[in-house]
Amino acid sequence: MSEHTNEQSKNQDLEQFRKEPGELLTTNEGVKVNNTNDSLKTGTRGPSLLEDFHLLEKNAHFNRERIPERVVHARGVGAHGYFQPYESLKELTKAKFLQDPSVKTPVFVRFSTVAGFRGSADAVRDVRGFAVKFYTEDGNYDLVGNNIPVFFIQDAMKFPDLIHAVKPEPHNEMPQASTAHDNFWDFVSLMPESMHMIMWVLSDRTIPRSYRMMQGFGIHTFRFVNEQGKARFVKFHWKPLLGIHSMVFDEIQTLGGKDPDFHRRDLLEAIEMGDYPEYELGVQIVEEEDEFKFDFDILDSTKIIPEELVPIKPIGKMVLNRVPDNFFAETEQVAFQPTNVVPGIDFSDDPLLQGRIFAYPDTQRHRLGTANFESLPINRPVCPVHNDQRDGFSQYNIYTSKVNYSPNSLGGGCPMASPENMGAFVHYAEKLGGRKVRERSESFSDHFSQATLFLNSMSKAEKEHLVKAAHFELGKVMNKEVKERVVGLFNHIDHEFATLVAAGLGLEAPAKELIPNHGKSSPALSMENQPKDSIKTRQIAVLAADGVDAAQLMVIKKALEAEGALTRIVSKFGGKIKGTDGKEIDVERTFLTSASVMFDAIYIPGGEKSIATLKMDNDVSEFIYSAFKHCKAIAATGEGVDLIAAANIKDIKLADAEKSVSDKGVITSRNASDVKQIVQDFVKAIAQHRHWIREEKKETKQM
């Protein structure tokens, strides 16, 4: 298929199922309806009649509209797009969608949280799902990953227990969408294999700024197999071109209330505005002969292969460029399965992956209520499907052949199995051996070294956030023994870390250091070491009222928008305000309908009257103060500088009469003529994402 057909293929396929509203209302049987407001009655005040098939059908259908939500990852958002390889990967794999750099393979991606129910908030501390369905010409390939490169457990046998422990407690169904409770930490305290994942969970990785600014990982080791049958081990990585950015915990606690749909809205609005999220797909390749060269087992899903050991080779780019037409039909019904592999990509013996191969199709059949869920539009492959699987609930296909078995002569032997050289999937002929045992491999037994590696790789600010997250999570645990056991496990990671966590919980510090910290780190693991060179799609709040200095506002607004950022005029009331040039300016948000947690930075233009009005509004100083507390970039020009001073923000230098100042990400200039000068500083400060220096306190001991 050429580039054009590939990218179009899924959209064209979906075209046939798109239901436009239509003019005349009918029943599902196509019978036109003359009145959908009143049930059929005996006289206007008499009883309703059983023969009112329109009333019956409409209510009966409504009563069956909800299907079981996903047992995990219930809360999510999806988008269509395409994947395009940078070059042919035929040396490594024969997977068709990785052969031709001119071919764009349609994809559907769903991002999700894990713990919360379908209606829970986006902005929570949680792992994020990153599931990609490639509609390739050789069948659907699903890379069902997370934004964290490891997992809590090593063997799928423990998954039901893990999720039972994560989910709200069975006696009172609390807390919603949170691991800060006794059951979860009791389970963790008895599962040392979860320690590496726990460090990632307590890190800023689980409070992402946006689905567009978080990494994705396939986690497991898989296999690439090329045309010659040569296999290599492979791990998959998604890297967002906008960089990797997180929020601060205090921010998401507010955001969960102010805008529970924040991440969903952020993704869909960006795509609708044409700011298509882009992710680079990278692979780490390990030759089969190198399988045992590491001091960890590459089949162990609680371990990463540090990039410094095996570099990531970028192999292509995914662009998300279309929002779903219908949330339920597409995002709710999409069925991802690690089971879905295509020729050229195969499984490894990772016991977590092996269990997932069963779990996903099983869960889809249950929650979508049919074995025919792959016929649903969003799940249909774009390539031909031929087999003898028939009937079952909601069978959409009308098979014309009377032959539904193999072998057969009456159907010309079709559909027949095809040889590998005609594109059939042949499982990699891995050489196996060993007795049947229900045991864990000795090579899976190091549960702490990579947890220590991750902790050592964190920046100062990231480490402090991690300790604070432990204080919050375990601070909500009532059972003292559970907390003590967790601190005991932390002591295997790093004695100082365990001591700091214990201090915040009012527990005895661990008596002594058990294992000296190995001191190794992997710089690639810290978000501070990721590129911070773009303000594209960042949302900047412009605080203004009548009398705002229109010249200053327009200079900054234009400059930010030239860099791809979005500005939003925020004022006390909706409608319009008037600038000093007498022109009207549309108000886009008010202090009531928004909060600084919904923005990446703040700009306060001058204008005596505007500032005088804003100064009288407590919401304004709260707006500015929380942006400062969340370490966001703030700029103010002219009289706007007085508003910062009024927001009782301490220990930063502000502009004086002559000179503009840029201090800890706060850029101010009273002198209207050098507004242009501060633009560069402001853009740089926003690109920095956050200014953690503001969190530095003199007195408390830090990591």
Which residues 213-242 are close enough to bind ligand HDD by CB under 6 A?
Answer: 219
- 128 labeled binding residue: no
CA distances in angstroms from 567 to 268, 588, 656, listed in the order given? 18, 9, 26
Which residues 157-186 are close enough to bind ligand HDD by CB under 6 A?
Answer: 159
**Residue 246 or residue 302: which is nearer to ligand HDD going by CB?**
302
- Do 565 and 558 meet the contact criterion of CB atoms below 8 Å apart? no
In the complex, least distance from residue 151 CB atom to ligand HDD, rounded to whole angstroms: 4
**Residue 352 or residue 686: which is nearer to ligand HDD going by CB?**
352
Q: Is 355 in the site for ligand HDD (CB under 6 A)?
A: yes
Site string for ligand HDD, 73-112 (x = CB under 6 A): x--x---------------------------------x-x
Instruction: Choose, by CB under 6 A, the member of 10, 181, 196, 356 that binds ligand HDD.
Output: 356
Q: Is 131 in the site for ligand HDD (CB under 6 A)?
A: yes
In the complex, least distance from residue 336 CB atom to ligand HDD, rounded to whole angstroms: 4
59 is catalytic: no
In the complex, least distance from residue 283 CB atom to ligand HDD, rounded to whole angstroms: 17
In which residue are the tokens 């075209």 written?
15
Burial class (CB in 10 A: 0-12, 13-18, 19+), 524: middle
Instruction: Choose, by CB under 6 A, the member of 144, 341, 453, 535 that binds ligand HDD.
Output: 144
Instruction: Choose, by CB under 6 A, the member of 301, 348, 456, 537 that binds ligand HDD.
Output: 301
Q: DSSP characters for 148-176?
A: SSS-S-SSGGGHHHHHHHHSPBTTTTBST
- Do 135 and 9 meet the contact criterion of CB atoms below 8 Å apart? yes
| Opening angle at CA 318, ends 317 and 323, nearest 5 | 160
Q: What is the distance between the alpha carbons of residues 152 and 196, in angstroms, rounded to a whole number?
A: 8
Where helices occur in 218-350 by DSSP H, the ranges are: 249-258, 262-272
4 is catalytic: no
Q: Which of 457, 455, 453, 448 is nearest to 469 (CA)?
A: 455
> Per the residue annotation, which of 6, 146, 340, 456 is the catalytic one?
146
Q: Is 352 in the site for ligand HDD (CB under 6 A)?
A: yes
Q: Is 359 in the site for ligand HDD (CB under 6 A)?
A: yes
Residue 253 exposure: Cα atoms within 13 Å on the Cβ side: 7
Q: Is 211 in the site for ligand HDD (CB under 6 A)?
A: no
Q: Residue 249: what residue type? A: F
Q: What is the distance between the alpha carbons of residues 204 and 193, in angstroms, rounded to a whole number?
A: 21
**Residue 110 or residue 181: which is nearer to ligand HDD going by CB?**
110
**How many chain residues touch ligand HDD (CB under 6 A)?**
24
Residues in Cβ contact with 73 at an 8 Å cutoff, skipping those fewer than 6 apart: 112, 113, 114, 129, 131
Q: What is the distance between the alpha carbons of residues 433 and 522, in angstroms, rounded to a whole number?
A: 35
End-to-end Cα, the chain, rounded Å? 55
- 367 labeled binding residue: yes
Q: What is the distance between the alpha carbons of residues 324 and 320, in angstroms, rounded to a whole number?
A: 11
**Residue 106 or residue 216: which is nearer to ligand HDD going by CB?**
216
Query: And the tokens for 288?
Result: 């089969």
- 118 labeled binding residue: no
Q: Is 145 in the site for ligand HDD (CB under 6 A)?
A: yes
In the complex, least distance from residue 204 CB atom to ligand HDD, rounded to whole angstroms: 19
In the complex, least distance from residue 355 CB atom to ligand HDD, rounded to whole angstroms: 4
Q: What is the distance between the alpha carbons of residues 196 and 453, in angstroms, rounded to a whole number?
A: 9
Q: Which of 79, 405, 426, 118 is nearest to 269 (CA)?
A: 79
Q: Which of 571, 633, 575 is nearest to 607 (CA)?
A: 571
Q: Is 151 in the site for ligand HDD (CB under 6 A)?
A: yes
**Residue 340 or residue 567: which is nearer to ligand HDD going by CB?**
340
Q: Is 368 in the site for ligand HDD (CB under 6 A)?
A: no
In the complex, least distance from residue 484 CB atom to ligand HDD, rounded to whole angstroms: 29
**Residue 131 or residue 565: which is nearer to ligand HDD going by CB?**
131
- Span from 70-78, 464-472, 590-598, 615-623 in contact with ligand HDD (CB under 6 A): 70-78
Q: Is 132 in the site for ligand HDD (CB under 6 A)?
A: no
Q: Residue 90: what residue type? A: K
Give the catalytic positions in this structure.
73, 146
Binding site for ligand HDD (CB under 6 A): 70-73, 76, 110, 112, 129, 131, 144-146, 151, 156, 159, 219, 301, 336, 352, 355-356, 359-360, 363
